[in-house]
Amino acid sequence: MNNYNLKVDSAKISIPLEYCEILNTDLLDAFQLDRTNLVTGEVETVKQYKGEPFILNTDYGTYYKIWIEPQLAGKGVSKLYLSVLINSKHLGEHYFKGITKDTVSLLYQNIMEQNVFKCSLEDFLDARFIDTDIAFDFKCTAEHFEILKQNIKNSTLYPGLWASTHKSKNSGIWTPKTPSNIKPRDFATPSKPYVKFYSKEIDFKYRSNIFANHFGLVKQAENIVRFECTIKNSRHKELLKIQHIKNLKQLLNSDLNKIASDIFKRYFEKRKFVKSKSETPMDKVIIDLVNMAIKKGATKNDIYKIFDRADISRKSNHNLVSKYHKLYSENKIKKDLLEANETSKNVFEFLGVSEQLKIKLD
């Protein structure tokens, strides 16, 4: 297992119904409730029902839900979409890889094998998404996890919003804190998003043990802690400056690390916004990129910091970070070179000689 690899863990995706072939006709069956006036014989329709969702709980711990629903498609127009709850558990033995651009074809194949509907992989990837959990896993002993929980509470600007548990069969910390700690996702807002750390080892021993045992994942989960956070809705996407990321394919090709970081930082940083005085925001980016160019060894974090600046107005900051995510997802930033620089920096830092790092690329 690779630690700190960002991935999509779950999401609700929606595909225009016109691009789907329905195999399970229960999704399309319709009936209506009528009321008949026994005096006049006049029939009045009280309510119409459309279809039944496909729901399956397998005997190996995997859950499926597929249904048809109307959604707004722009300019107040409503159209029918086929919605699917996707989850890393649909990847079976590849669960810990999560949903990525490298595994999404396996996910697609698994969904198609349920014989509920058919669509092309291209249309599947073009699906819109909401209620999306992104996650990463990392090695952490139970003792170190307890220290991490305390450090989070000591460091956050909002300690009262965090809840935690320290039980042998349930260990985690999450926000927002809710009455009786029930369904914190339902109480999350874009400005106070859902974030959770929990023991994957305990989860696979006691909560999802049927699934974990079936696919031989228990050993892999030893001393593993998972971080999860949720991109809630379109308003949340706008706050994160990723509103241009419209579909699943774009999401999987985006910088999930920075998205997760921006969600987490809501609880730890007060943003400073200063009016720009001399150079325009784009001038600042160009000047800094000249001084910290990729060819001189700039890492992903270096580049991102140039866009996510505190010395310009709030609106300009929003536009610049949106520009960064757009360039990154469209492969206009040299990703391979950035990743290579990042690896070199990590190795040098780990070995204590980071100041001596010189990158020659000619």
Among 263, 286, 304, the domain-final residue is: 263
248 and 281 together in one domain: no
140 and 230 together in one domain: yes
End-to-end CA distance of the chain: 34
Q: Looking at the domain assignment, is residue 327 inside a domain?
A: yes
Question: How long, in residues, is the chain?
Answer: 362
331 and 187 together in one domain: no
Q: Looking at the domain assignment, is residue 105 inside a domain?
A: yes
Looking at the structure of the chain, the number of domains it has is 2
Q: Looking at the domain assignment, is residue 202 inside a domain?
A: yes
50 and 115 together in one domain: yes
83 and 204 together in one domain: yes
The pLDDT score that the predictor gives to residue 361 is: 45
The pLDDT score that the predictor gives to residue 273 is: 58
CA 218 – CA 206 distance, rounded (Å)? 11
Q: Looking at the domain assignment, is residue 154 inside a domain?
A: yes
The tokens describing 273, both together, are 């916004």
155 and 27 together in one domain: yes
What does each C-alpha distance from 127 to 74, 134, 221, 262, 291 come to in angstroms? 15, 17, 31, 24, 40
142 and 112 together in one domain: yes
Q: Looking at the domain assignment, is residue 362 inside a domain?
A: no
250 and 290 together in one domain: no
111 and 244 together in one domain: yes
Give the structural domain span for 343: 271-356
The pLDDT score that the predictor gives to residue 345 is: 72
**Helix spans in 54-133 (H):** 104-112, 121-125
CA 196 – CA 236 distance, rounded (Å)? 17
Among 263, 284, 305, the domain-final residue is: 263
pLDDT in tens, the chain (362 residues): 678 899 999 999 999 999 999 999 888 876 555 566 666 667 666 555 567 899 999 999 999 999 998 888 877 788 899 999 999 999 999 999 999 999 999 999 999 999 999 999 999 999 999 999 999 999 999 999 999 999 999 899 999 999 999 988 999 999 999 887 788 888 999 989 999 999 999 999 999 999 999 999 999 999 999 999 999 999 999 999 999 999 999 999 999 999 999 999 999 887 665 555 566 777 777 667 656 677 677 777 887 888 898 899 989 999 889 988 887 887 777 777 777 777 667 766 765 666 666 665 44
Among 218, 238, 263, the domain-final residue is: 263
The pLDDT score that the predictor gives to residue 120 is: 98
Give pTM, 2 decimals: 0.79
213 and 314 together in one domain: no
206 and 352 together in one domain: no
* Nearby residues of 348 by Cβ (< 8 Å), 6 or more positions away: 354, 356, 357
Q: Looking at the domain assignment, is residue 1 inside a domain?
A: no
Q: Looking at the domain assignment, is residue 361 inside a domain?
A: no
Q: Looking at the domain assignment, is residue 29 inside a domain?
A: yes
259 and 276 together in one domain: no
Single out the residue of 8, 246, 254, 259 nearest to residue 129, CA to CA: 246
Give the SS3 label for residue 137.
strand
Give the SS3 label for residue 336.
helix
